[in-house]
Amino acid sequence: MRLRDKNKEQHEKSVADDLLKKLGKTPVSDRPGNPDNNEPDRLYRIDKKTIGIEVVTAYYSEGEAKATAEAAAEKPIAPGEIRLGKVIGSPDDSICESIRENLDAKCSKKYSGTDETWLCINVDAPLTELECLKECVDNLDVPENQFDRIYVTVSKPEGGMEVFEISARKPSTSSGKLMLHKVALFAGGLFVGILIGVGAVYFFLHHHPAMLRPNMTMSEVELSFGKPDRIDVVDGRIGDKYESPKEILWVYSRYKITESGESYGKPGHIRFIPMRFTHQKWGPDDDTARQYGEQADTFRTCSFSGSFPIRKKDWAADDFGLFDGVPLKELQKVK
């Protein structure tokens, strides 16, 4: 083993040992981890569990880290030992950024061979007050990771070690729960959306002024009055000179006397006829009438009778709706 690697291993052991001592943990055995097997830096046997501790040190700058590594090639560094390199910019901001970068880097790795895996970020920051470090640690955004515990350790000027613990985010719970949370939010939002939609339709049907006019589609009528209680069909006929339309009657028995004060009878009905029989499509040049009869048309409202919450005055004076009749087509005028 190279001297630099040996000193690095000793530094990792020293940091991990001091952390366990601070936490009141007494291991029965320990050994270095095997990086080829994705094991963390140190493995300890504690309470019949294998605890793996990954150790990383945060410095003010890359230059200081390099200088420390070069010095460590000659002599291992104790956790509380100070070896200053060149510090650029604000020391407090620099060390906090270093902690964040090391945290992100370690959280992206996978480890094996342990019952629990801990991360220990040892901070080499003799120029920074503990309060600044605590504020930095409290505001860290922890990525998803495999760690059971995450610690930040720093040597105190008066001696000893200060330990800050960060809440870890396990992928087995975080990813799964996050996905379940997203699914729950989506399902909840969808459910709320459906409720709002149903409520809006209910409100419209029960509180919006009903509307009935010529040339309405069946969907428009349903939106105003709901589905009919019964549907009757009257077949159309083609005589020598005239064609009468096929009629579809939507029968409603749920309404009382109309708002006009007149009783048109119960049940009320709305009469639909093919569009080509209505005023908009009425004309002598209708080849569809000769070839297919009413089968080729979509249906529109033509007239109504009976009890509905509307006034018949909404229909024009020349509309068949006033008389609940249907128009005829004169076949002789079809070219």
267-278 pLDDT, tens digit each: 678 888 887 776
Count how many domains the chain has. Answer: 2
**Domain co-membership, 15 together with 116:** yes
Cα radius of gyration (the chain): 42
Among 171, 205, 227, give the residue marking a domain's end: 171
**Domain co-membership, 131 together with 48:** yes
Q: How would residue 36 be classed by pLDDT, with cut points 50, 70 and 90?
A: very high
Q: Answer whether 28's CB lies under 8 Å from 47's CB.
A: no
**Domain co-membership, 132 together with 265:** no
**Domain presence at residue 191:** no
Measured distance CA(245)–CA(238) in Å, rounded: 9
What pLDDT, on the 0 to 100 scale, is given for residue 57? 92
Predicted TM-score (pTM) of the model is 0.48
Among 171, 190, 208, give the residue marking a domain's end: 171
Question: Mean pLDDT in the chain?
Answer: 75
**Domain co-membership, 105 together with 233:** no
What pLDDT, on the 0 to 100 scale, is given for residue 116? 94
**Domain presence at residue 109:** yes
Strand-pairing partners, residue 150, are 119, 166
Helix (H, G, I), strand (E, B) or coil at 169: coil
**Domain presence at residue 72:** yes
**309-314 LR contacts (CB < 8 Å, sep 24+):** 309/210, 309/255, 309/258, 309/259, 310/210, 310/211, 310/212, 310/258, 310/259, 311/258, 311/259, 311/260, 312/258, 312/260, 313/260, 314/211, 314/212, 314/213
**Domain co-membership, 53 together with 156:** yes
More confident site: 241 or 291:
241
**Domain co-membership, 256 together with 317:** yes
Measured distance CA(333)–CA(7) in Å, rounded: 108
What pLDDT, on the 0 to 100 scale, is given for residue 210? 58
CA atoms within 13 A on the CB side of 116: 13
**Domain co-membership, 159 together with 288:** no
**Domain presence at residue 176:** no
Measured distance CA(322)–CA(303) in Å, rounded: 7
Residues 6+ apart with CB under 8 A from 184: none
Helix (H, G, I), strand (E, B) or coil at 286: coil
**Domain presence at residue 181:** no
Instruction: Kindly report the backbone phi and psi dihedral angles of residue 35, in degrees, each rounded to the nearest multiple of 5, phi listed first.
Output: -65, -25
**Domain presence at residue 34:** yes
**Domain co-membership, 13 together with 132:** yes
**Domain co-membership, 108 together with 229:** no
Helix (H) or strand (E) holding 23: helix 3-23
Structural domain containing residue 223: 218-333
Measured distance CA(76)–CA(117) in Å, rounded: 25
Among 110, 145, 171, give the residue marking a domain's end: 171
Q: How would residue 334 be classed by pLDDT, with cut points 50, 70 and 90?
A: very low
Q: How would residue 308 be classed by pLDDT, with cut points 50, 70 and 90?
A: low
More confident site: 192 or 103:
103
**Domain co-membership, 251 together with 134:** no
3-state SS, one letter per residue, for 93-104: HHHHHHHHHHHH
Highest mean pLDDT among 96-105, 196-205, 253-262: 96-105
What pLDDT, on the 0 to 100 scale, is given for residue 312? 52
**Domain presence at residue 177:** no
Helix (H, G, I), strand (E, B) or coil at 85: coil
Residues 6+ apart with CB under 8 A from 118: 40, 51, 52, 53, 54, 147, 148, 149, 150, 151
**Domain presence at residue 273:** yes
Q: What is the pLDDT of residues 164-216, one digit of tens each?
A: 998 876 654 445 555 666 677 777 777 777 777 666 655 544 444 556 777 78
Q: What six digits make up the tokens of 261?
A: 């004060």
**Strand order, beta sheet including 329-330:** 237-238, 242-244, 329-330
